[in-house]
A and B are shown apart, each in its own frame.
Chain A
């Protein structure tokens, strides 16, 4: 099988399967006459999507804004702190275990606390998204910086490179594959963080829209909002993935 056929196959197989599932779903709803409130058919959801497109788009914007801002802030903090820790063994050994312990607590549990501290506006949602996305990025970055080939580090030291030069020339480039796997997890978690925060207290965003639609028993609207959320998550993931491919191409891999 040549490369083009392989790629087509990889695209066609899951698409065909997904479409079949939708058809099955539609058929089941039609045959068993489920009430729309409990289980809307795919066509109902599509209809809700089209008629409420303006609302969905408008509610998507704050969710996207908080997600992207939280993710970027988490990336800067995680990369920055991991880099600082890599310079000093003492600081690293003091702080790293605490971060690991913090990471074991379900991050969502902190959400109400952040709302108490930062209010019900966007700052609390941003904080939660940042907090939840921080850990996977930080831990991958730490692992990446420590994974740098020891002999390369030794070579750099033997050439009288400063710690900073060694970091810049050896450790940081070596950490890139690790960083990107952390970023991919981080960006999906950032979406989760924002949605959960919007569930708890918000007057805008897709999370708010889902909560409101549930209260009004607009099940088709909930699913339409989830579809938009899905697209948002995919887009964020896609941007990170494209960034990774870009860096790999630049490095000629």
Chain B
């Protein structure tokens, strides 16, 4: 029993070693190269949010950035989104250096960020309005997406008439409706209760397995990261840098039951050990 557990841990370690030995440069889709972020450089409140960090994400891969709060993981994702610029280093997405947001990236924030005065359907169609495209051709797709996340019958509801979980479902649809090739999610479920969160993970898994976009998911929940990801990158305390790169071996489609397996718990335990906590 114990021997088996050690064996599994050894496997986890092996995959980390493999990752380090063979960087996926050729097949990569998102490259983060020596990226560093300093807020208020030279000022009295200078903060190094992200220490020089490099990693890459392959096309179609689901990668989680896992770390304690304030470790710079959100900053990193905002830079990949093109909403923020690195102080040093560069980020390349689909062969293009990021200097501004690109239309082919879908984003989910911590809160659903819906227009309160627009219906669920109109909120899903918002990207086309923002990009100044006619929405007509996409209405059917938007409705299909809403139905797929269990919001059939809520198309015309306003955000305040929906629960927190339903609002995040609308946000998932909005991030997928224009078929982005890269999906960035910044702790999208952290404001939800545990049960709704499990539910949202299932919805997200289902949608991701159907659409299969490259995805980067920021979270401080170890179990969520392991359940969702192909790979988990662990970030240290601020200034954040990657301290572990772990491949998650579970086959897809994944069911919530895998969270009960010993292997799942071993991986979680290993990751927990990698997260450095501030001295209590």
Contacts and interface: CB of A to CB of B under 8 A. Distances in A.
A155 B103 contact: no
Contacts of B132: 161-162, 165
B107 A155 contact: yes
Contacts of A173: 115, 117
B55 interface: no
B102 A152 contact: no
B111 A156 contact: no
A230 B192 CA distance: 52
A152 B158 CA distance: 16
A156 B174 CA distance: 12
Interface string A144-169: 00000101101111111110011001
Interface in A56-96: none
Interface residues of A, number: 20
Size range of the chain B interface in the assembly: 20 to 34
Contacts of A151: 109, 111, 113
A56 B100 CA distance: 64
Contacts of B102: 160
Interface string B99-137: 011110101010101010101000000110111100000
Contacts of A155: 107, 109, 113, 126, 130
B125 to A, nearest CB: 11
B126 A169 contact: yes
Given A165-B132, A169-B129, A253-B117, A158 B105 contact: yes
Contact of A160 (B117, B129, B130): B130
A149 B159 CA distance: 14
Contact of B117 (A156, A159, A165, A251): A251
B129 A252 contact: no
B28 interface: no
A232 interface: no
Interface string B182-223: 000000000000000000000000000000000000000000
21 contacts: A151-B111, A152-B113, A154-B83, A155-B130, A158-B82, A158-B83, A159-B101, A159-B103, A159-B126, A159-B130, A160-B102, A160-B103, A160-B131, A161-B131, A165-B130, A166-B130, A169-B115, A169-B129, A170-B115, A173-B115, A253-B117
Interface of B: 81-83, 100-103, 105, 107, 109, 111, 113, 115, 117, 119, 126-127, 129-132, 158
Interface of A: 149, 151-152, 154-162, 165-166, 169-170, 173, 251-253
Listed from nearest, the 8 A-B pairs whose CB atoms lie closest are: A161-B130, A159-B130, A251-B117, A160-B103, A151-B113, A158-B101, A158-B107, A155-B113
